[in-house]
A and B are shown apart, each in its own frame.
Chain A
């Protein structure tokens, strides 16, 4: 069969595209390097579990994100199940589309200053549908926090800066959705909450 110049042109375009695609696939399927622990867990980052555990999980989360609420239950279960083998830490990644994303994170940080971060985290997720500036003092009261200190921390620009710094760092490492988890520095690609349990248990049992 004799090929016309038009057919040859089309084959050329297609071949060129196939080469570009092959190169892109090679680059994209390259496994990314794990992120160092000291970059993911800062001295100011809230953690729970075994401080010197060889398995560490970092969550970038938003209190107004429904998926984060679902995953928070899984993280709590993992903490209960592996208190001596797993270190869990929380970093803020409030999404722009969530009106209360930043404020709720500030409330958690303000509670954290008084040592009640994880308790506030649970309360914020439990009351996710009611998140508002009026709710945070109510939750702080429930936790028995000193209200003057809480209000002071809540309005302090330094508290907000911690949230913004976390979000900026998250963006710099390619996070664009919540929740995003890193297990021993490796970003997890999870389809369902139970996938998180499977991934963590795979690493814990493999050690």
Chain B
């Protein structure tokens, strides 16, 4: 990893931790059935109470938690062993690609089916898009050097 890639990896790591924390917060609310602090009105509650937020019985934030946890682990491992650098970066790209597909699907579900926007889901969606973009930039830098 060169300096630019190291910086990008740090940013992805921090964004993934932020995503993980948001996911844990929303997940505990789903599991304990408690209210969510929400700046988008009653959107978070509408999303939490909708059956669409439990695909295959799994609460949506649980999928977010697992995805972000993978990203945290993969970005961390990149600092430990340079030998698997390319594989790890491919893993991050794979995870981020799944992430943006998932958040795009869920944002569509929120807007058109649930008809409510959860602030945390929206932030997480943007977060995942940024991670995806940074991963692509990191790959591009890697190819140049």
Task: Report A's interface with B, CB cutoff 8 A.
Answer: 3-4, 6-7, 9-10, 13-14, 17, 21, 28, 67, 95-97, 174-178, 189-191
Contact = CB atoms under 8 A, between A and B. Distances in A.
B21 A17 contact: yes
Contacts of B94: none
Contacts of B32: 189
Nearest to A1: B80
Interface in B11-52: 13-14, 17, 21, 24, 28, 32-36, 38, 41-42, 44-46, 49
Contact of A10 (B13, B33, B41, B44): B13
A177 B42 CA distance: 6
A14 B35 contact: no
Contacts of B17: 13-14, 17
Nearest to A28: B28
Contacts of A13: 13-14, 17
Given A14-B72, A174-B35, A176-B44, 13 more contacts: A7-B80, A13-B13, A14-B17, A28-B28, A97-B41, A175-B35, A176-B36, A176-B38, A176-B45, A177-B49, A189-B32, A190-B33, A191-B33
A17 B24 CA distance: 12
Contacts of B14: 13
Contacts of B44: 176
Candidate in A7, A10, A174 with the most chain B CB atoms within 10 angstroms: A10
Contacts, number: 52
Interface residues of B, number: 25
Say what secondary structure dominates the interface of chain A: loop
B6 interface: yes
Nearest to B42: A177
Contact of A6 (B6, B21, B35, B45): B6
Say what secondary structure dominates the interface of chain B: helix
Candidate in B13, B35, B42 with the most chain A CB atoms within 10 angstroms: B42
A200 B76 CA distance: 49
A189 B13 contact: no
Nearest to B44: A176
A189 B41 contact: no
Contacts of B87: none
Nearest to B82: A4
Contacts of B34: 189
B10 to A, nearest CB: 8
Contacts of A9: 10, 79
Given A14-B76, A189-B32, A21 B21 contact: yes
B88 to A, nearest CB: 13
